[in-house]
Amino acid sequence: MASTAEAVIPGQRLGHAQEYIAGSGTYLHQDFLYASVVGIKQINPSDNDGLPFLTVQRESSQSAIPDIDTIVTCKVLRINPRFASVSIMVVNGKPCTDDFQGIIRAQDVRATEKDKVKIYNSFRPGDIVRAQVVSLGDARSYYLSTAANELGVIFGTSIAGGSLVPISWQEMQCTKTKAVELRKCAKPL
Amino acid sequence: MDRKRVPGPELTVPPLVEYALDQKRWSPQEECRHDANRQPEDLRPIYLKTGLISQASGSAYIELEKTKIACGVYGPRPIKKSGYGFSGTGTLNCEFKFATFACVKRRNHIRDPQERELSMILTQALTPAVRLELLPKSAIDVYITVLECDGLSSCFAAAITAASVALAHAGIEMIDLVAACSASYVIMDRTLSSAVPPPSTTSDSAPAAVSLRPPTIIMDADLEEEKFEEGSIMVAYMPSLNEVTHVLQNGKVDRSIVSQSVEHCIEACNKIYAVMRHALVESIDEKQTR
């Protein structure tokens, strides 16, 4: 709940570090808090009677960028025995203006029996996958992981073209032909 | 039909000449500036507006009387080109381009060495203000197009100002805005040497003239004044942190004049900052009413 609303610009001094906790859109420099984006200054009370949070609500939303531990939604582009290449389209519920490249390595597909993972039994090109970023990866791609119950394929189409519904954590059924296909499914939230 | 070039219209009119034959041209002997209403320390009025280019993430347009510059910021976007290697921080790419019709002499479509150099300086002047550590593996592209140039160093200073406003408008996290201002050293009321421009091709007698009379520091010089300059300085400055990001000085001048002109530039940058601030606050209001 915003108690004070005021337009600020980058570099504007907002307050002393002893009075507030730096939130998003602000930075700390030599005991003072400054705004780092153009937006509306907001002071939010903290949860446990500590210092209030000082945030700047930005006016123009910047494109989301994947960071370590963020949950991303991506589309499988191609697979090979070692990893699945994906294109990251949504980061923490915010769409990216430009897709980021990512890979899900075979050892990151699930938490147990990592050596028995077969990529082609986990993902197929065209699947929509919910994954977590484990590392910023190499120059080209982010490294993603689906080693959690709520991570994995959330949407896919079968060979026949029907949409797939999960029937267990590693099986999905085609709605048209009732054929069962293997996937690393995400537990429905 | 020649499709690669722009042919002139069939009904042509005589060209507009910059100086009529009988018009008296300005020279430093006149003891006033090219624009007689301006004092040496006065800047030209600035018009600055954000949101000119709708498809860009952020954009700005700046106008200092005849100087007109458009700036667009795109990104941050992922680096896809191979060969760059992993980078934990983002990169800022700047491209400074004169429109073919921007200067007195026609410019080429292809980037020339001067534009390349100015692009590099622009990157250096802006990078300290952008929080690139928050944008790993990403790149921000800044494109500056000079539509009309009235004085090179003042035009370049305006480009830095516009680019930093465009970056802020794009919602990119910044430490501070960067305001830039230029100053020229012109020897006013020069009686010794004849007022033949430009002094850059100095003969042996010219340095003697320099030492006789200290040059006047003229802020935000236009093209006419720049033709008579002994040198110029451009300072890029972060007003609220009180830090200089870039100083570009050319020509030969006394040390005391340089430090004095840097102070003048910083003072002027603080004035420009007020304009930048106004433009950005206005951009918030526009979005809220929409």
How do residues A163-176 score in pLDDT, each as one tens digit?
Answer: 999 999 889 999 99
Strand residues in B87-159 grouped as ranges (E): 91-98, 138-148
- Using a CB-CB cut-off of 8 Å, the residues of chain A touching B284 are 7, 38-40, 59
- Using a CB-CB cut-off of 8 Å, the residues of chain B touching A30 are none
Whole-angstrom distance, CA of residue A61 vs CA of residue A43: 19
- Using a CB-CB cut-off of 8 Å, the residues of chain A touching B176 are 10-11, 34
Report the first-to-last Cα separation within chain A, whole angstroms: 28
Do A27 and B238 count as a contact with CB atoms less than 8 A apart? no
Neighbour-count burial of B82, counting CB atoms closer than 10 A to its CB (0-12 exposed, 13-18 middle, 19+ buried): exposed
**What pLDDT score was predicted for residue B244?**
94
Name the CA radius of gyration of chain A, rounded.
21
Looking at residue B68, its amino acid is K
Q: Indicate whether B209 pLDDT > 60.
A: no
Angle at the Cα of A117 from the Cα atoms of A112 and A121, rounded to 5 degrees: 125
Whole-angstrom distance, CA of residue A76 vs CA of residue A59: 33
Check if B170 contacts A (Cβ < 8 Å): yes
Check if B175 contacts A (Cβ < 8 Å): yes
Is residue A63 domain-resident?
Answer: no
Is residue B12 domain-resident?
Answer: no
B284 compared with B152, residue with greater pLDDT = B152
Do B172 and A62 count as a contact with CB atoms less than 8 A apart? yes
Whole-angstrom distance, CA of residue B162 vs CA of residue B131: 18
Check if B207 contacts A (Cβ < 8 Å): no
Q: Which domain holds residue B155?
A: 28-289
Query: A24 is written with which tokens?
Result: 């998003």
Q: At a CB cut-off of 8 Å and minimum separation 6, what does A88 contact?
A: A66, A72, A73, A74, A96, A99, A100, A101, A102, A142, A144
**What pLDDT score was predicted for residue B264?**
93
Is residue A66 domain-resident?
Answer: no
**What pLDDT score was predicted for residue B210?**
47
Express each pLDDT in B36-67 by its tens digit: 888 888 899 999 999 999 899 899 999 998 89
B141 compared with B15, residue with greater pLDDT = B141
From the CB of residue A135, how many other CB atoms can be counted at a distance below 10 Å?
A: 12
Is residue A65 domain-resident?
Answer: no
Express each pLDDT in A128-162 by its tens digit: 999 999 988 887 889 999 999 999 999 999 988 88
Is residue B22 domain-resident?
Answer: no
- Contact present, B206 and B273 (Cβ < 8 Å): no
**What pLDDT score was predicted for residue B195?**
45
Do B135 and A7 count as a contact with CB atoms less than 8 A apart? no
Is residue B231 domain-resident?
Answer: yes
- Specify the CATH number for the domain of residue B183: 3.30.230.70
Closest to A37 (Cβ–Cβ): which among B79, B171, B283?
B171
CB pairs under 8 A between A and B: 103
B81 compared with B93, residue with greater pLDDT = B93
Check if B174 contacts A (Cβ < 8 Å): yes
Q: Indicate whether A103 pLDDT > 70.
A: yes
Would you tell me which residues 150-169 of chain B have a C-beta closer than 8 angstroms to some C-beta of chain A? 168-169
Q: Indicate whether B163 pLDDT > 50.
A: yes
Whole-angstrom distance, CA of residue B241 vs CA of residue B175: 8
Query: B172 is written with which tokens?
Result: 């990119």
Based on the fold, state whether residues A42 and A80 are members of the same structural domain: no
Q: Which domain holds residue A118?
A: 71-182
Is residue A10 domain-resident?
Answer: yes
Query: B7 is written with which tokens?
Result: 């042919």
**What pLDDT score was predicted for residue B53?**
92
Based on the fold, state whether residues A47 and A126 are members of the same structural domain: no
Q: Indicate whether A18 pLDDT > 90.
A: no
Residue of A nearest to B87 (CA): A139
- Specify the CATH number for the domain of residue A16: 2.40.50.100
* pLDDT mean over B190-209: 48
Residue of B nearest to A59 (CA): B284
pLDDT band at A100 (very low <50, low <70, confident <90, very high): confident
Express each pLDDT in B114-129 by its tens digit: 999 999 999 999 999 9
Based on the fold, state whether residues A93 and A156 are members of the same structural domain: yes
Express each pLDDT in B223-282 by its tens digit: 888 888 889 999 999 998 999 999 999 998 889 999 999 999 999 999 999 999 999 988
Is residue B42 domain-resident?
Answer: yes
Is residue A25 domain-resident?
Answer: yes
Q: Indicate whether B202 pLDDT > 50.
A: no
- Specify the CATH number for the domain of residue A156: 2.40.50.140
B205 compared with B33, residue with greater pLDDT = B33
Q: Mean pLDDT for chain B? A: 84
Q: Indicate whether B289 pLDDT > 70.
A: no
Do A65 and B175 count as a contact with CB atoms less than 8 A apart? no
Write out the residues of chain A at the interface with chain B, using a CB-CB cutoff of 8 A. Answer: 7, 9-13, 25, 27, 29, 34, 36-40, 58-63, 65, 67, 97-101, 136-140, 142
* Helix or strand holding residue A182 (H, E): strand A180-182
Please count the structural domains in chain B: 1
Do B77 and A63 count as a contact with CB atoms less than 8 A apart? yes
Whole-angstrom distance, CA of residue B71 vs CA of residue B114: 18
Is residue A146 domain-resident?
Answer: yes
* pLDDT mean over B80-108: 84
Check if B283 contacts A (Cβ < 8 Å): yes
Q: Indicate whether A114 pLDDT > 70.
A: yes
Closest to B171 (Cβ–Cβ): which among A34, A40, A61?
A61
* pLDDT mean over A100-110: 91
Q: Point out the least confidently predicted range of A53-62, B84-93, B181-190.
A: A53-62
Whole-angstrom distance, CA of residue B247 vs CA of residue B129: 15
Whole-angstrom distance, CA of residue B9 vs CA of residue B14: 12
**Strand ranges across the sheet with A164-168:** A164-168, A171-174, A180-182
Q: Does the global pTM surpass 0.90? A: no
- Contact present, B175 and B251 (Cβ < 8 Å): no
Q: Mean pLDDT for chain A? A: 87
Is residue A81 domain-resident?
Answer: yes
Query: B9 is written with which tokens?
Result: 């219209």
Please count the structural domains in chain A: 2
Is residue A141 domain-resident?
Answer: yes
**What pLDDT score was predicted for residue B41?**
87
**What pLDDT score was predicted for residue B71?**
95
Q: Indicate whether B207 pLDDT > 80.
A: no
**What pLDDT score was predicted for residue B192?**
44
Do A7 and B58 count as a contact with CB atoms less than 8 A apart? no
Based on the fold, state whether residues A84 and A149 are members of the same structural domain: yes
Query: A38 is written with which tokens?
Result: 């153009």
**What pLDDT score was predicted for residue B82?**
61
